[in-house]
Structure 1
Amino acid sequence: MTVGLVVVSHSARAAEGIVEIAAEMAGETRIEAVGGDGRGGIGTVPDDIEDALVAAGDVGRSGNGGDSGADDDPSDGVVVLVDLGSAVMNAEVAIELSDVDAVIADAPVLEGAVNAAVAATDPSATLESVREQAEAASEISKV
């Protein structure tokens, strides 16, 4: 079983950049970036987040440019990292709409994504253990 990650930002470019950084630590973990209002502006869209949840939970597809090698293995779920308040609301809506087992981590989005990516590489990772490591990022001192 594996845990996927979704990074939700009001900016598609910010989400993609965060995923680019976290992917350096993620091994074969599937990480999806989603952001923007769907028209090139700032915002978040529940349907786009739902699509990212499904993609991150689909471990039989390639993630981060590689093949997970788990063609028929189910995902253990998806940890969602968000940047601002309305992203939380839209992520909650997307989780309710999807069939994916997903949780939102109460974590700083960049540091949480990196911590979650590292935690997800552990063969015994669970949805809860990855979420906990993402949330532990709030304890990281930068200076």
Structure 2
Amino acid sequence: MTELVGIVLVSHSPELAAGLRSLLGQIGSAAVPVAVAGGTDDSRIGTSYARIAAAVKDADRGAGVLVLPDLGSSVLTARAVLEDHPREGVVIADAPFVEGAVAAAVTAAAGADLTAVLTAATEARHVSKL
């Protein structure tokens, strides 16, 4: 089986990140490696450099990793991790957190490459709900 693109969910809230990972698994994307980096090192609201770095390693199965932060400092911290520890095939997505994650996971589950997964995530911002 071909390795799938991994996804890292970076959120200020451990519960939000874990809940979104659970949703992705329930929509048929359980084969996609999804790692979470939610909250601070002591599980408070915030972001953790160490948790993001560990999640990137955990999600990487060789096909690339899409890092999807929720907002504010999660974006800044994720960017710092990727700048300090550059890895080929790891990209950060400027995409809506939930919709982008769903689009990325469905696309990754279909076996798409990292570029297609990134495109799906970023294009999710244009999908109308009504």
Match of 1:71 in 2: none
Q: Contact (CA 8 Å) 2:24, 2:30: kept in 1 or not?
A: no
Shift in Å, 1:99: 5.3
Match of 1:104 in 2: 92
Deviations 1:50-104 (A, max 9, x none): 10000000x3xxxxxxxxxxxxxxx121001111121111111222333543111
Q: Percent identity?
A: 39
Secondary structure, aligned partner of 2:63: strand
Match of 2:108 in 1: 120
Q: Contact (CA 8 Å) 1:50, 1:97: kept in 2 or not?
A: no
TM-score scaled by structure 1? 0.82
Q: Which has the higher helix share?
A: 2
AA aligned to 2:93 is: A
Within 5 A, what are the aligned runs for 1:1-143? 1-24=3-26, 25-57=28-60, 59=61, 75-98=62-85, 100=87, 101-123=89-111, 125-143=112-130
TM-score scaled by structure 2? 0.90
- Aligned residue-pair number: 126
Gap runs ≥5 in structure 2: none
Deviations 1:101-132 (A, max 9, x none): 31111111011111000000123x11111000
- Whole-Å Cα distance in 1 between the matches of residues 18 and 120 of structure 2? 21
AA aligned to 1:78 is: V
- Whole-Å Cα distance in 2 between the matches of residues 11 and 84 of structure 1? 11
Secondary structure, aligned partner of 2:57: helix
Runs (4+) of structure 1 exceeding 3 A deviation are 97-100
- Whole-Å Cα distance in 2 between the matches of residues 54 and 39 of structure 1? 20
